[in-house]
Structure 1
Amino acid sequence: MPTADRNRWLAAAALTAAGIDLAVFLLLHLVQPGVDILHQPTSAYIHGAFGFTSSLASAAVGLGGIALAAAVWRLAPALGGRIGAGLLGVFGLAKLVQAFFPIDPVGEVSGAGTVHNLLGNLAFFVLPIAAVLVTRPVAHATGRDRPAWWPVVAGWTLVATMVLVLAGDGLGFFGLAQRIYLVNAMAWTALVASWLWRGRR
């Protein structure tokens, strides 16, 4: 299969994963309003009636991240792009495995919950770094780098929302900040995947 066709399939997988993630995100907020949006992470939805969809979304995001990493690896051969693609792969694997390790209920500690937190932190930190490294090369390779500042902003917004989550953890609005970060991650994934799917202008 030609590289362009492979990239389109990989990009379509990443786009689909972002769509599933957004749909589950909205569904859980609608059907499980008992979770405290201001303070609790979205992983807390796993303990509700529709919690299984949270695991499905995490697995989808993981597979989408791996697909996006494979597409970027082929399209951005420079060192920065390859490092970014590798980090995207780490992110995808972390989210995929995390789907099988639910977060602990409040007040409980278990091995599964510890693994969930470790994988979540790994995914949280590597995705913004990957975004900074791959957004500009992908934009350039697909002809979406005009104006030149656009891909820079698109990549660094994930870093900004990562900092917001860290601030929210100390200031008492972690849950809200995390949701802003997650929506931004969905948007970034969909943006880059759409560039790859449409190919070069």
Structure 2
Amino acid sequence: MKNTVIAGAALGALAFAVSDVVNTEMSVVAETVSRFVNTDAGWLVTAGLLSIAAGSAALTWLVARSGVSRLGTWLLGLWSVGILLAAIFPADPPGQWDNPSVSETVHGLAAWVALLSFVIASVVLARALPRDPLFTATTVVVVVGLVLFMVTLVDAMATRSLPAVLGVTERIAIGADLLWMALCALRLSPVRPAVRPSAAAQR
């Protein structure tokens, strides 16, 4: 199951990277990954999201089985469902903030539920699992990455006073999330049931 988590995260990252490379229609710096679903190679975005959703579901199962955190399990479950819905309901092309389609609305809400759930889950599980410098540092990047993405998103939608780097901040946040998933899977171990003493040993 750990391999499923790592494969899902890796294939998702690969699909997004290839989408960025072959794209000639939108700015990788200024536009989010999900907008690229409207390009000629848009299927790569959907494939990447589905891969991440599968890996996330596997990670949720691992966390639940380990018993390390019930809250972390539920939050990762929300992340998994949110990513799946974001894949099923694609984003609109850029520039339609004021008149979003139903698909865009569902996509946006699902993505934000997923991202917020994930960042809380990362902090909860980082505190619950044994301390590790790399895992802790990645958790910090997950939190900082989401904050940067939120700042640039609000600016892009409202004030537009910052450089158009929304695509960069989102990719930093996504990259940190995927790395965190893989590291978390590697650190988890299932809880073994306690061995009851035999009747002979109790006498």
The yes-or-no answer on 1:46 pairing with 2:63 is no
Q: Following the alignment from structure 1 to structure 2, what is the Cα–Cα distance between the partners of residues 187 and 150?
A: 10
Alignment TM-score, normalising by the size of structure 1: 0.81
Q: Which has the higher helix share?
A: 1
Match of 1:97 among 85, 99, 107: 85
Alignment TM-score, normalising by the size of structure 2: 0.81
Distance 1:168 1:153, change over 3 A: same
- Specify every segment of 5 or more residues in structure 2 that has no aligned partner in the other structure, as ranges: 156-161, 192-203
Q: How many positions carry a matched residue from both structures? A: 180
Q: Following the alignment from structure 2 to structure 1, what is the Cα–Cα distance between the partners of residues 141 and 171?
A: 14
The yes-or-no answer on 1:166 pairing with 2:166 is no
**Higher Cα Rg, which structure:** 2
User: 1:1-201 alignment to 2 at 5 Å?
Assistant: 9=1, 11-77=2-68, 81-108=69-96, 109-138=100-129, 140=130, 145-146=131-132, 150-169=134-153, 170=155, 171=162, 172-196=164-188
Distance 1:29 1:137, change over 3 A: same
Residues 14, 65 of structure 1: 8 Å contact kept: yes
Deviation at 1:107, TM superposition (A): 4.4
Misfit runs of 4+, over 4 Å: none
Q: Following the alignment from structure 1 to structure 2, what is the Cα–Cα distance between the partners of residues 18 and 42?
A: 15
Q: Following the alignment from structure 1 to structure 2, what is the Cα–Cα distance between the partners of residues 185 and 103?
A: 20
Residues 85, 134 of structure 1: 8 Å contact kept: no
Give the CA RMSD over aligned residues.
Answer: 2.1
